[in-house]
Every structure is written in C-alpha cells, then in structure tokens.
Amino acid sequence: MEKITPKDINLIQKNIIVTNGKNNKRRVIPLSNTTYQDLKQYLINTSCSNNKPFLSNSAGTPLKRYTALKMIQKLGKKARITKKITLHGLRHSIATHLIENGLSLEQVQLFLGHQQIETTTLYTRIKQQQLKQIISL
C-alpha cells in the first residue's frame, strides 16, 4: 500500500500492479468498476506525480499503515460503527463477503495473493449453514 505510485495503476486494464508486495511478490489486483471510476476521477482531479506515492501525506511522504488505519477508524466512528476496526479485520471481511457472494476459495485465494489455500481459509468467516451449502454443491 505504501509503495503504490500512480504509474502502478493501469486504467486501461483496470488493475493495480504491486511490484514489491509481501515477500517481494508481484501481484496484479483487479479494480471493481466503482473503484476504477473513483481512481480515474481522483487522478484527473489531483496532480499526482507518477513516481511519488499514491497515498501520501501533505509532505509527500508515503502514508503509513498506522495513519491509514487511524483515518479508517475515524470514518468508522463517524458512521457509528462500534466494532473495533483493524486493517487485518478488513481483509477478513472482504474475504468473507466475496465467499458469501459466490466466489470460490480459489478465487479468493488469488484475490488475496495467498500461495496456500490454507492461508485463505484462515481469512474467511463462513456461517455453518453457508458452509453446508458450499459442501453440498
């Protein structure tokens, strides 16, 4: 997140290329239509340099995870979300919602960038009834 620059955002292919992800892995992250439109509008309305961090503070230095978390928590408080918000928790929620909306574990594994499917299963919280439905397919 801290290392992404505007040049890593491919608006033609609607994805973000992470060149130095966790364990120096290269990943291609697809953008939803909404995210694509928002990013496109943001890039048009701001004067982002291709080589500077996409998420940066007023001094132009990369926005750190802690700062991003505090911003998200502040928005959560404004939205009256009482549950504790963490970046890791957001990954869990996204994985769970993807599975609840019909994506397979393998698709979620690819989306999250996991090498092992077992890692992906740790990120998911599937209700017992939903698990029975998946197994019966």
pLDDT tens across 75-97, in order? 999 999 999 999 888 888 888 88
Same domain, 97 and 126: yes
Looking at this protein, which amino acid is placed at residue 16? I
Residue with tokens 């992250």: 29
List, edge to edge, every strand of the sheet that includes 9-10: 9-10, 15-18, 27-30
Counting the structural domains of the chain, the total is 2
For residue 70, the model assigns a pLDDT of 94
Q: Decide if 73 is inside a domain.
A: no
| More confident position, 50 or 100 | 100
Same domain, 1 and 40: yes
- Give the model confidence (pLDDT) of 19-69 as tens digits: 877 777 788 888 999 999 998 998 888 777 777 787 887 787 888 889 989
Residue with tokens 């979300």: 81
Which structural domain, as residue segments, surrounds residue 127? 86-137
Chain centroid to Cα 22, Å, comes to: 13
For residue 57, the model assigns a pLDDT of 79
Q: Looking at the whole model, is its pTM more than 0.75?
A: no
Same domain, 56 and 14: yes
Q: Decide if 74 is inside a domain.
A: no
Q: Decide if 78 is inside a domain.
A: no
